[in-house]
Chains A and B, each alone.
Chain A
């Protein structure tokens, strides 16, 4: 028995040493994409736990008519889900602990922050003492450290971020190119799908957004904004169905990018690297619910790109573009041109800077539905990707009009968007590729 135990211990040690010595992948867009696939696979495997967590929340949300649901924590997670095409209309944004608007928020979806676990633990204890349900989202190791710090959770969703957040090992022993933004947003929408499904099984359908960029989306919102549930009883969605459908839709979106856009992702990184090497600026103009909050300076960010905007539509005045600069322009379906955007694209071209576009074109729109131009509302979007000159790079995000991929049986619109995950994934793929091109020190 003792001998067997010793052998097992030796085996375990050997495996650990082997694992520890396994060479970390070299930074590249492909390696990042590969990790993304493994993350989604992990989420799919965890579907039973995700469903249970969502069912627990739905039971409270449905039975307690004063109960609202809100988000908290890591900034990508905290800003991705609110006011979002395909998302829950009543989802509450993060509120500070003295804000009166926090009072009805009795279910908190809480994305843990590896750098602030002591604070997260203290917040969770306050929520728990106030009778709130806490659903913690985080990578397994982070969740363990959170628990060790006294953190409370009614249930946990493993996001399958890389263990150190950063995917690639760097010379100083650190890890770079973050995975948390992608993992958190993917886990959030998967959970939300299961939450909606669980509500239907409780006999209720919560109102979900249709994007305002779709004709009729805003008018629909105005009708639904004060409702907690649709008055009509919904068709039941089986456990796991909506979460899996979301992951399937997301995988399909990412697969299109892998197959159709990877060459442009590499070209974009090369152009940004070239600008860097020549002493010009390598910038990013980030426009989107979660990605707008990214400053490219935090932990695990290799700081190879400089963010050039601090509001949604305008470039910073203190960072004027110059000839030779390159700017990754990451947004939704609008070119950053015209008055609304402070004529960003026009000014960039005039001074000899190069915009690199990362938007959705709607070009691969489902042929069974009307053309994209007939579906979008010109009051909310210009959808003018066709105006991009052919010599400028366009990384097509390849999500469809309405930005929602899951059909709920009997519901009038599709739900759950992919654009948030896709935008983050492309940003970090470009960054990974750029890091791989950086001259070795």
Chain B
């Protein structure tokens, strides 16, 4: 055990030292130094998650055992990215829901709750955990070691835990005043969520069942659009899917690291210049992760004004004008044409400058963008899945959530580096 701990410390210190050794001043010849630090943190976090795979598998096994015995939904609660990236995702579980206390009948259908408690809503999340347990639900808590310890101390009994690996205090950097800045919890949570989901699916196959997976073309609210979910040709061994998911995320980040950092730095420079000139910089994103939540998280720098209101609805009131900048995070379709009420066109007509972070947008559609609009690519492609299940064509475990969230935070890191005096905190193990 001691040897293991020493090994962990050595690895952590080694990786931290690697991260710290990266140049973090704007004078570096390498582009996007702050994004590189974020990327280095992410790799450490993914490594930590991989090391925890046996515990994650055990938590998934526990849930699978309950699902096999009684048909039940898996509910999600807590941190917003964790809560939202699970829902209506092709390649994700179909029988999930968010734990909506305003809809008691729907809440009653949930037998297993995955919750990522939030520091800024700690008392509420603690009360919810106690409530779930009091109502006989299985609770699996996702959180950094400090959070999990705090829950235990406050009497929150849970059935299993999944340790996530955000930076201490959530923020990766520190401002001159010592405040944490540039969030890491959403990325750490979403990565842990999909690793767990992979292990859960695998655990179900080892029990001879296959949970329903959301597939392309399905309407999650209309069972008539669903076809039976195929099962893999053989039970999936413990750890296999979790490991494969982490590998897929790493590969995508290798592509981002190799090809996108100069462009990311250029976008950050443009945005920072606009901000220095007191122009608005806004965010429009129709993706599972609602990036507009972050205003409520203390470590979020709040550089962007979110203008997305609801899925597929044009914003109610857009105050952007000439000289303002709008970051459009577009997973698949660009926000152009009648399907999007000519949103992008209207913004251009106002004189607003658009910059893009795109996912699996077809090349021919990307070619329609005006050449002066900067584009960053996330390097994932459809069907947005880390794994194709053996013996089937079923693609599972999307990576776009982690990539979207992490690239957005890398951009925040670059902005913070340009707009504020930031530094890395003293080296130490992640978690709070």
Given A126-B123, A126-B124: A297 touches B108 (CB 8 Å cut-off): yes
Q: Flag whether B101 is at the interface (Cβ < 8 A).
A: yes
Question: Given the complex, which residues of A lie within 8 Å of B295, measured CB to CB?
Answer: 100
Q: Flag whether A121 is at the interface (Cβ < 8 A).
A: yes
* Contact indicator A78/B102 (Cβ below 8 Å): yes
Query: In whole angstroms, how far apart are the Cα atoms of A79 and B98 in the complex?
Result: 17
Chain B residues with a Cβ closer than 8 Å to the other chain, count:
31
Within 8 A of B (CB), among A96-138: 96-101, 113, 115-116, 118-119, 121-123, 125-126
Give which listed residue, B102, B123, B223, B293, contacts A72 with CB less than 8 A.
Answer: B102
In the complex, what's the smallest C-beta–C-beta distance from B152 to chain A, in angstroms? 18
* Contact indicator A295/B101 (Cβ below 8 Å): no
Given A119-B128, A122-B126, A122-B127: A94 touches B293 (CB 8 Å cut-off): no
Q: Flag whether B52 is at the interface (Cβ < 8 A).
A: no
The chain A residue sitting closest to B294, CB to CB, is A98
Query: In whole angstroms, how far apart are the Cα atoms of A363 and B56 in the complex?
Result: 63
Within 8 A of A (CB), among B345-364: none
| Interface band, chain A | 20 to 34
Q: Flag whether A311 is at the interface (Cβ < 8 A).
A: yes
Question: Given the complex, which residues of A lie within 8 Å of B228, measured CB to CB?
Answer: none
Question: Given the complex, which residues of B lie within 8 Å of A101, measured CB to CB?
Answer: 309
Q: Flag whether A302 is at the interface (Cβ < 8 A).
A: no
Give which listed residue, A73, A74, A113, A119, contacts B124 with CB less than 8 A.
Answer: A119
Q: Flag whether B104 is at the interface (Cβ < 8 A).
A: yes
Q: Flag whether B224 is at the interface (Cβ < 8 A).
A: yes
Report which residue of A75, A98, A99, A318 has the largest number of chain B beta carbons within 10 angstroms of its beta carbon: A98
Given A94-B102, A116-B101, A119-B101: A298 touches B108 (CB 8 Å cut-off): yes
Query: In whole angstroms, how far apart are the Cα atoms of A78 and B131 in the complex?
Result: 20
Q: Flag whether A258 is at the interface (Cβ < 8 A).
A: no
Query: In whole angstroms, how far apart are the Cα atoms of A125 and B121 in the complex?
Result: 10
Given A98-B296, A294-B105: A116 touches B121 (CB 8 Å cut-off): no
In the complex, what's the smallest C-beta–C-beta distance from A434 to chain B, in angstroms? 19
Query: In whole angstroms, how far apart are the Cα atoms of A115 and B290 in the complex?
Result: 30
1/0 per residue, CB under 8 A from A, across B98-115: the answer is 101111111010000000
Within 8 A of A (CB), among B79-131: 80, 83, 98, 100-106, 108, 121, 123-124, 126-128, 130-131
Question: Given the complex, which residues of B lie within 8 Å of A298, measured CB to CB?
Answer: 104-105, 108
Question: Given the complex, which residues of A lie within 8 Å of B100, measured CB to CB?
Answer: 94, 96
Q: Flag whether A317 is at the interface (Cβ < 8 A).
A: yes
Q: Flag whether B292 is at the interface (Cβ < 8 A).
A: yes
* Contact indicator B108/A123 (Cβ below 8 Å): no
Query: In whole angstroms, how far apart are the Cα atoms of A96 and B128 in the complex?
Result: 13
* Contact indicator B309/A317 (Cβ below 8 Å): no
* Contact indicator B135/A75 (Cβ below 8 Å): no
Q: Give chain B's interface secondary structure class.
A: helix
The chain A residue sitting closest to B123, CB to CB, is A122
1/0 per residue, CB under 8 A from B, across A72-85: the answer is 11110011000000
Question: Given the complex, which residues of A lie within 8 Å of B126, measured CB to CB?
Answer: 122
The chain A residue sitting closest to B99, CB to CB, is A96
Q: Flag whether A293 is at the interface (Cβ < 8 A).
A: yes
* Contact indicator B127/A118 (Cβ below 8 Å): yes
Given A118-B131, A297-B105, A298-B104: A317 touches B224 (CB 8 Å cut-off): yes
Query: In whole angstroms, how far apart are the Cα atoms of A77 and B402 in the complex?
Result: 37
* Contact indicator B103/A97 (Cβ below 8 Å): no
Report which residue of A74, A101, A118, A294 has the largest number of chain B beta carbons within 10 angstroms of its beta carbon: A118
The chain B residue sitting closest to A72, CB to CB, is B102
In the complex, what's the smallest C-beta–C-beta distance from B219 to chain A, in angstroms? 11
Q: Flag whether B221 is at the interface (Cβ < 8 A).
A: yes
Q: Flag whether B430 is at the interface (Cβ < 8 A).
A: no
Query: In whole angstroms, how far apart are the Cα atoms of A171 and B64 in the complex?
Result: 37
* Contact indicator B223/A317 (Cβ below 8 Å): yes
* Contact indicator A119/B127 (Cβ below 8 Å): yes
In the complex, what's the smallest C-beta–C-beta distance from A265 to chain B, in angstroms? 24
The chain A residue sitting closest to B317, CB to CB, is A226
* Contact indicator B127/A97 (Cβ below 8 Å): no
* Contact indicator A126/B121 (Cβ below 8 Å): yes
* Contact indicator A100/B292 (Cβ below 8 Å): yes
Given A98-B293, A126-B121, A317-B224: A75 touches B102 (CB 8 Å cut-off): yes
Question: Given the complex, which residues of A lie within 8 Å of B290, measured CB to CB?
Answer: 100
In the complex, what's the smallest C-beta–C-beta distance from B387 to chain A, in angstroms? 30
Q: Flag whether B306 is at the interface (Cβ < 8 A).
A: yes
1/0 per residue, CB under 8 A from A, across B295-326: the answer is 11000000000100100000000000000000
* Contact indicator A293/B127 (Cβ below 8 Å): no
- Between A and B, 6 residue pairs with Cβ closer than 8 Å are A113-B101, A115-B135, A118-B127, A119-B124, A119-B128, A126-B121
Chain A residues in contact with chain B, CB under 8 A? 72-75, 78-79, 94, 96-101, 113, 115-116, 118-119, 121-123, 125-126, 293-295, 297-298, 311, 317-318
Chain B residues in contact with chain A, CB under 8 A? 80, 83, 98, 100-106, 108, 121, 123-124, 126-128, 130-131, 135, 221-224, 290, 292-293, 295-296, 306, 309
Query: What are the 9 closest A-B residue pairs judged by CB atoms, nearest first?
Result: A295-B105, A122-B127, A94-B102, A122-B124, A98-B80, A78-B102, A118-B127, A98-B293, A119-B127
